[in-house]
Amino acid sequence: MTVNQEFCKDVDAALKRIAIHIRKTPVEFSYSMSKNSSSKVFLKLENFQVTGSFKARGAVNKMSLMAEENPEKIITASSGNHGSAVAYAASILGLDTLIFLPENVSSAKFNKIKQFGANVNIKSKNAGDAENAARTYALKHGYPYLSPYNDYDVIAGQGTIAAEVTQQTTGIDAVFIAVGGGGLISGIGGYLKEMNPAVQIIACSPENSAAMHYSLEAGKIIGIDHFETISDGTAGALEKDSITYEYCHSVVDESILLTEDEIFSGMREFLNSHQMMIEGAAGVAIAGFLKLQHQFKNKKVLIVVCGANISSEKLMEVVS
DSSP conformation letters of 106-137:
-HHHHHHHHHTT-EEEEEESSHHHHHHHHHHH
What Cα–Cα distance (Å) separates residue 110 from each residue in 126, 199, 225, 242? 14, 36, 25, 26
How far apart, in whole angstroms, are the C-alpha atoms of residue 318 and residue 320?
6
* Count of C-beta atoms within a 10 Å radius of residue 249: 14
Report yes or no: 84 and 105 within 8 Å, Cβ to Cβ. Answer: no
Expressed as residue numbers, the domain containing 205 is 3-53+153-319
* Count of C-beta atoms within a 10 Å radius of residue 17: 17
By C-alpha distance, which of 8, 33, 21 is closest to 287? 33
How far apart, in whole angstroms, are the C-alpha atoms of residue 100 and residue 73?
13
pLDDT of residue 80: 80
Same domain, yes or no, for 157 and 119? no
Cα-trace Rg, the chain:
18
Which among 149, 165, 200 is the end of a domain? 149
Which among 103, 118, 149 is the end of a domain? 149
Question: Where does residue 219 fall: left (phi above 0), alpha (psi -120 to 50 degrees), or beta otherwise?
Answer: left
Given a cut of 80, is residue 127 above it in pLDDT? Answer: no
Name the CA dihedral angle for 306, 5, 174, 210, rounded to a multiple of 10 degrees: 50
Given a cut of 70, is residue 308 above it in pLDDT? Answer: yes
Spell out the residues 6+ positions from residue 68 whose beta carbon is closer than 8 angstroms to its own.
Answer: none
CATH number of residue 298's parent domain = 3.40.50.1100
Same domain, yes or no, for 157 and 194? yes
* Count of C-beta atoms within a 10 Å radius of residue 105: 23
Mean pLDDT of 176-196: 97
Which among 119, 149, 179 is the end of a domain? 149
Same domain, yes or no, for 73 and 29? no
* Listed range (40-49, 72-81, 106-115) with the worst mean pLDDT: 106-115
**pTM for the structure as a whole:** 0.94
How far apart, in whole angstroms, are the C-alpha atoms of residue 320 and residue 153?
40
Given a cut of 60, is residue 136 above it in pLDDT? Answer: yes
Same domain, yes or no, for 234 and 268? yes
Same domain, yes or no, for 37 and 86? no
User: DSSP 3-state assignment of 303?
Assistant: strand
Number of domains in the chain: 2
How far apart, in whole angstroms, are the C-alpha atoms of residue 307 and residue 6?
28
State residue 292 phi and psi, 5-degree precision.
-110, 10
State residue 139 phi and psi, 5-degree precision.
-65, -45
Same domain, yes or no, for 187 and 294? yes
pLDDT of residue 2: 53
99: confidence class by pLDDT, cuts 50, 70, 90: very high
1: confidence class by pLDDT, cuts 50, 70, 90: very low
Given a cut of 90, is residue 123 above it in pLDDT? Answer: no
How far apart, in whole angstroms, are the C-alpha atoms of residue 129 and residue 18?
30
pLDDT 10s digits, 274-283: 999 999 999 9
Strand 74-77 and strand 119-124: the pairing is unpaired
Same domain, yes or no, for 292 and 254? yes
